[in-house]
Amino acid sequence: MPRFDTLNEALMVWDNPTPARGEAVLEYSRELERFLAEIERRAFRMAQVALRDPDDALDVVQDAMLKLARNYASRPSAEWRPLFYRILENGIRDLQRRRSVRKRFMTWLPGVKEDPDNETPDPLENVADAAPEIPEVLMQGQAMEQLEASLRSLPARQREAFMLRNFEGLDVAETATAMGCSQGSVKTHYSRAVHTLRDQLGEVWS
C-alpha cells in the first residue's frame, strides 16, 4: 500500500497505480523539501536585509514555504524558484506596508513618541564576543553591513531586482516572474540599482 499525505498524491497514485508512479509522487514530495532546504538560508538573509528583523524574516520565509507547498507544489519544479520568491517578496511588501500603517497610527496617538520599529536594544547584543575576531572577518562584516545599509536605501523594486539577479542568480525572465513585472522593467531596475550601489559603495570598497 503506497503511503501518501495529501489527497492530491492519493489521486495521482489512484489514477495510475503503477509502483513507478507511486514512487514518483513520493520523490516529488521529497524534491520539494530538498528545494526548500536548499533555498531557505538565502531567502532568510534576503528577507532579513529587507526587514532588518530576523523574527519577521523567519515569519515571511515560513509563510512563503507554506504557500508554495500548499498552492504550487504540483507545478513543475523548474517554476518553484521564481514562484517562491514572488510569494516571499509579496510577504515582505505586505509586512513593510503594515509597519508603515502602524507607524503612522502610532504617531497619531497622544503620548506615543516611540518608533515601534526601534525597540529597546538588547544589552547583550553589545557585549563583546569572548573570541577575538580576526581583522579579515571584521572587515567582511563591516563591508556586509555597508552593503545591507545601501540595499535598504534603494527603492524596493531596485533592491528586489538586484538581490534576485545577483544573489539568487535568477535570470531576467525568472526575475520578471518573481517580481510580477516585464523583463524590460527588471533590466531597468537592476541597472539603476547597480549604478546607485556603485556610487554609494565604490569609494568605501575601493
Partner 1 sequence: MSSHVEPNDSSSAHAALEERSRALFHDSVESLDFATRSRLTKARHAALEAASTSRRPWFFRSGFLTPAGVTAVAVLAAFLWMGSPVVHSPITAADGQSNLEDLDMVASSDDAIDMLQDDVEFYDWAEKGANSGPAA
Question: Number of H helices and number of E strands within the chain?
Answer: 8, 0
Beta carbon of residue 205, minimum distance to partner 1 (angstroms, whole number): 6
Nearer to partner 1, 116 or 141 (CB): 141
Write the interaction track for partner 1 spanning residues 127-146; mark x where CB under 8 A is met and - where it is not.
Answer: -------------x--xx--
Q: Which of 14, 77, 94, 149 binds partner 1 (CB under 8 A)?
A: 14
Distance of alpha carbon 155 from alpha carbon 29, whole angstroms: 37
Tally the residues of the chain. Answer: 206
Q: Does residue 62 interact with partner 1 by CB under 8 A?
A: yes
Nearer to partner 1, 102 or 195 (CB): 195
Enter the DSSP assignment of 6: S
Supply the DSSP string of 126-186, one letter for each residue.
GSPPSSPPPHHHHHHHHHHHHHHHHHHHS-HHHHHHHIIIIIS---HHHHHHHHTS-HHHH
Q: Which residues of this chain interact with partner 1, rule CB under 8 A?
A: 1-8, 10-11, 13-14, 26, 32-33, 36-37, 40-42, 44-45, 54, 58, 61-63, 65-66, 69-70, 73, 140, 143-144, 147, 163, 166-167, 194-195, 197-198, 201-202, 205
